[in-house]
Structure 1
Amino acid sequence: MPSARGMIRRQVRFCFGIALAAGLLLSLPVVWAQYPLQYPAKSEVSKDGTAILIEDYATPPLSSALMGHDYPPPIDYHGQLARVVSMRSEPAGAPLASTRFFVADMNGNLYILDKATRKFTPYITFVEIFPRYSTDRLTTGVGVIAFDPNYAKNGKFYTVHTEDPSKPGSVQPTNAHMPSLKLDGYATTPVVKPPVGDVQNESVLVEWTDTNIKNSTFEGTAREILRVGFNTVIHPMDDVVFDPLAKPGSANYGNLYVSTGDGGSGETPGPIQIIPQSLNALQAKILRITPNLALRPKDRLSENGRYRIPSTGPDPNPFISVAGARPEIFAYGFRNPHRMDWDPVTNTLLVNDIGLHSWEEVDIVTRGGNYGYSQREGNEVLIVPGGGKTGTQSNPQVPFPQLDQLTVEGLEKPVAPIYPVAVYSHEEGDAIGSGFVYRGKLMPQMVGKYIFTDITTGRLFYTDLDEMIASRSTRGKQAPVHEIQVMYKSPYDPSGEGPVQRRMYDIVAEAYAHRDGIASADSPQGVLPGAPATTGGWRGKTFLPGKTDPYGVPYGGGRADVRLSMGGDGELYIMSKSDGMIRKMAAVVTPPPASKQMASH
């Protein structure tokens, strides 16, 4: 493993009703990038010198479930570094909202993190409750949590975890190791399978009701809301969010938005490829459902009887009257809509959609919108039978269709796809992570900027929200993307010097080595776990020693596995699924150039 001294150091797609809020400042001078309508030969991300100070915030405990159920996963998680993927605050009205976070470790634990002591308390241990809980590969495990808008009074929240249907034993949960969880009346729901292909992985949406949210012990009940099957272990159910602006009595109050991946279907030639464009499939969509059955009793009841579907009033789901279509669908045509962010200032729902081999996307979600996959990626046509290349990467090149429309079964007329509001190519990275419009106080120069990550390389980027809104999803017109440089003081540096500029990849690799992390067997040249081909782009090709970032500095192999979370106060935190650490964006060291600090909402 490289030592601290060996680490490289350098000084150097439908917004809910989302009519974008009335009063948007679209009269502001806006600059967007005129992106070439072909795959680039070099980096296009701006390096404008913007730098942010990153500080260590908290160290989650090693994953060590009791493993008392009959069918433990094949990996022994005792002593394994936490795979932290999300961290969320309770709604402001909750009694302890200002003092703690809820942290998801994909190995099977949902923790409560005390902000004052930085100590973690196990809250729900999924691996001990669900016998078929799966977390042995890629995106499996417990991923995200969303709090009911009335959580302060009803104690309800929602989680997503994965299960392996091939495991033996009961699909019913057990409370043998958690007697405070009452399972009387708990019943599983029928899995909603993809219309084509087998099911290898199931994502389960669960509603939890904690009867006492004033302590750190779960005491209450659980109710399964929805179970969706996927063709592979990749791209499962991704994220869940509520509209932060919806008030009791409004049409969108209590509606849960659920993003689902395609399970790898869209990159598989044959009938399975069309699932992202199929309105009879829940996969590769953004869904909108109402878990509270009593909230709007005239709305349609779901097939499994566990939720309602917005179908009456001023804002029904867009395909509620389309024969053969799943009424839960709000938007479609995604590959892996990994994370969503709802900006309350502009009433904008953003989603980051992880691409195949070429482009990473930020989309503004619009009611009923088609985001193109698996027929489009970025600004280009996608040729899946041709190895997943875009039209301009194919040999010979495949021209972009003169009539930019897609035929969707069940719809009377062809549909024009909606294009991203920000993109970057695999010359820059490999998989877009989570992102948030910054609204905090520690970095005033970044207010109104959408800050996001590349998962595998660990690179941080930003773009301007106003510029994304102004691009209006026009093909070839996206908001410019700028890189954020990282300043960091390593706890492993004995020199005592102050923060220096470093890559997040190297920060993660250093901590991983010092925490006795073991590199993946698939990555003998590297220092981090994960498929070696995923660092630095060119997914699907063999890792080559000496692969470099856009600055010419080699990566070490493996994945930084970096994502962001936003606290209730609007501040941003960086988590790594590789080194198991949580870090905080503490200050702007070098602000964006003045021309890029345009007034934002």
Structure 2
Amino acid sequence: MYYSQFIMPNIIVHNMRQFLNSTPRALIMCLLVLVATHAYAQTPQPTTPTAVPEIQLTRLFPNVALRRPIQAIQAPGEPEILYVVEQAGRILRLDEKNDQVKSGDVFVDIRAQVNSKNNEEGLLSICFDPNYVANGFLYMYYSADKPRRSILSRFHVSSDRKSVDVDSQIKILEVDQPYSNHNGGTVLFGPDGMLYLSLGDGGAANDPHGHGQNLRTLLASVLRIDVSQCTKESPYAIPADNPFVDTKGARKEIWAYGLRNVWRMAFDRETKLLWAGDVGQDQYEEIDVIVKGGNYGWNAREGFHEFAPGSKGDFGDTYREPAYEYSHSNGVSVTGGYVYRGKKYPQLNGIYFFADFGYGIIWGARCQDLKLGPPRKLIHRSANLWSSFGEMLNGELVLCSFDGGDRGPGSLWKITGAQTSTADVAR
């Protein structure tokens, strides 16, 4: 060690002096250029930054008074139109070219069909058909009563794409709900063209009916169905590659299960992974990557932790761990978000944004395969109740905030700026 630290440098310096004294100046300059070029070529190129940059939020449509907005979405072929879903059963159509409007155009109003009497019921989610430009199909997931149930339906939009024909409804799926809470809440198309739907465990507390580990019920799961040939007589088909098509007694629509209440989930448009926020009960909220056949542990586990000792799945499955969890010291109701893939802020690329509805916190975390890196609190505790994220056609992200109390009417926000700074890790 001492030799390499002290003797070797002296030998190198002595030899270098001899070289410089005996070598023509022009040759030395050429050699220095070559060395510098080689050193530059060997310099490691910058890799994806691990720090999560700051964000800025800009209010959208500040003069529009929204009533419990729970989703903002765009339709294929309409890059300047934003559709905002209100929980009671209205969908508003807003044109981004006219941000100062005082009200949105009513795209559809199905409040007469929707049961929104309780906090977790209502018109919970919509999505547009991937071939919407040609077929004009719109899908809605909503709550109904007498009897209490969740309904997934398809509607047809007018040829001018400005209104919905409510009489065109085809009810694809109806699921009985034992209680008013834990209705899940997201319907969306995957990159495979299949329709995915998240369903909660049926409600109350502790999963009293044991739906979480029961493949014989559609509750507490994410479903995957084929609606490409939807008719009233045959509204959907079971994809042949669904994980439980050959499992005796299991519902073949199930893609993944053991989920308490996935309120929001979304595909990463680059990796095709399905990221979900599963709302916890007593102590933990979790982010999951939903995979084929995955058992996410509820009600045997809550996050990484044991919840109901001795609880076992019907078919002996092992449980998949969350991508991330946070305790109820940091929030009480997770709102799953999106992985940013827009072009406007390249420093945000690959960051998964999610929020807590109860505490008004927004986090960002870099995706690391099926896990999340250390999240950073980007928006600390606030008056906003972040009910949903939305991804625009160009990959930019928006957020919905509930109304009520001192917060005033519901509002829409857009991530509009970012800059690099030291990470503030959420604990």
TM-score normalized with structure 2 length: 0.80
Asked if 1:505 corresponds to 2:382, the answer is: yes
Match of 1:492 in 2: none
Q: Whole-Å Cα distance in 2 between the matches of residues 150 and 407 of structure 1?
A: 42
Match of 1:217 in 2: 163
State the one-letter code of the partner of 1:127: R
Cα offset, 1:369, TM superposition: 0.9
Match of 1:58 in 2: 61
The structure 1 residue matched to 2:306, chosen from 349, 356, 381, is 381
Match of 2:420 in 1: 591
Identity of aligned residues (%): 28
Which structure has the larger Rg over C-alpha atoms? 2
Q: Whole-Å Cα distance in 1 between the matches of residues 57 and 287 of structure 2?
A: 24
Cα offset, 1:443, TM superposition: 2.5
8 Å contact 1:456–1:562 — kept in the other structure? no
The structure 2 residue matched to 1:126, chosen from 110, 126, 135, is 110
State the one-letter code of the partner of 2:107: Y
- SS in structure 2 of the partner of residue 140 of structure 1: coil
Match of 2:277 in 1: 352
Asked if 1:90 corresponds to 2:75, the answer is: yes
Cα offset, 1:561, TM superposition: 4.4
- Distance change (3 Å), C-alpha of 1:470 and 1:292: closer
Which structure is higher in strand share? 2
The structure 2 residue matched to 1:260, chosen from 185, 194, 199, is 199
Match of 2:137 in 1: 156
- SS in structure 1 of the partner of residue 217 of structure 2: coil
8 Å contact 1:203–1:237 — kept in the other structure? no
8 Å contact 2:224–2:239 — kept in the other structure? yes
Match of 1:101 in 2: 82
Q: Whole-Å Cα distance in 2 between the matches of residues 448 and 256 of structure 1?
A: 24
Match of 2:317 in 1: 415
Q: Unaligned stretches of 5+ in structure 2?
A: 1-46, 404-408
Asked if 1:482 corresponds to 2:376, the answer is: yes
- SS in structure 2 of the partner of residue 372 of structure 1: coil
- 5 Å-filtered alignment, 1:282-431, equals 282-293=218-229, 305-311=234-240, 316-383=241-308, 407-409=312-314, 411=315, 414-431=316-333
The structure 2 residue matched to 1:575, chosen from 385, 400, 407, is 400
- Distance change (3 Å), C-alpha of 1:126 and 1:59: farther
8 Å contact 2:141–2:150 — kept in the other structure? yes
What per-residue deviation string (whole Å, max 9, x for no partner) do you get for residues 191-221 of structure 1?
xxxxxxxxxx311111011241x34223472
Cα offset, 1:444, TM superposition: 2.1
- SS in structure 2 of the partner of residue 277 of structure 1: coil
Cα offset, 1:442, TM superposition: 3.3
The structure 2 residue matched to 1:457, chosen from 359, 363, 375, is 359
Match of 1:552 in 2: none
- SS in structure 2 of the partner of residue 355 of structure 1: coil
Q: Unaligned stretches of 5+ in structure 1?
A: 1-27, 32-47, 63-80, 167-200, 247-252, 296-301, 384-397, 472-477, 486-502, 509-559, 597-601
Asked if 1:137 corresponds to 2:118, the answer is: yes
Match of 1:434 in 2: 336
What per-residue deviation string (whole Å, max 9, x for no partner) do you get for residues 325-357 of structure 1?
111011000000111111121121111111111
Q: Whole-Å Cα distance in 2 between the matches of residues 292 and 29 of structure 1?
A: 39
- SS in structure 1 of the partner of residue 299 of structure 2: coil
8 Å contact 1:424–1:481 — kept in the other structure? no
Q: Whole-Å Cα distance in 1 between the matches of residues 230 and 150 of structure 2?
A: 25
Q: Whole-Å Cα distance in 2 between the matches of residues 320 and 359 of structure 1?
A: 32
Q: Whole-Å Cα distance in 1 between the matches of residues 326 and 366 of structure 2?
A: 14
8 Å contact 1:265–1:275 — kept in the other structure? no
8 Å contact 2:69–2:387 — kept in the other structure? no
8 Å contact 1:353–1:363 — kept in the other structure? yes
Asked if 1:238 corresponds to 2:182, the answer is: no
- Distance change (3 Å), C-alpha of 1:339 and 1:158: same
8 Å contact 1:436–1:451 — kept in the other structure? yes
Q: Whole-Å Cα distance in 2 between the matches of residues 143 and 208 of structure 1?
A: 15
Q: Whole-Å Cα distance in 2 between the matches of residues 353 and 58 of structure 1?
A: 30
Q: Whole-Å Cα distance in 1 between the matches of residues 186 and 138 of structure 2?
A: 13
Q: Whole-Å Cα distance in 2 between the matches of residues 265 and 372 of structure 1?
A: 18
Cα offset, 1:240, TM superposition: 1.0
Q: Which has the higher contact order (CA 8 A, sep 6+)?
A: 1
Taking only aligned residues, the RMSD between alpha carbons, in angstroms, comes to 2.6
Cα offset, 1:160, TM superposition: 0.8
- 5 Å-filtered alignment, 1:539-558, equals none
What per-residue deviation string (whole Å, max 9, x for no partner) do you get for residues 347-402 of structure 1?
2111111111111111111111100000011111003xxxxxxxxxxxxxx8xx8x
Cα offset, 1:458, TM superposition: 0.9
Match of 1:280 in 2: 216
State the one-letter code of the partner of 1:415: D
TM-score normalized with structure 1 length: 0.58
- 5 Å-filtered alignment, 1:467-478, equals 467=368, 469=369, 471=371
Q: Whole-Å Cα distance in 2 between the matches of residues 504 and 127 of structure 1?
A: 33
8 Å contact 1:339–1:352 — kept in the other structure? yes
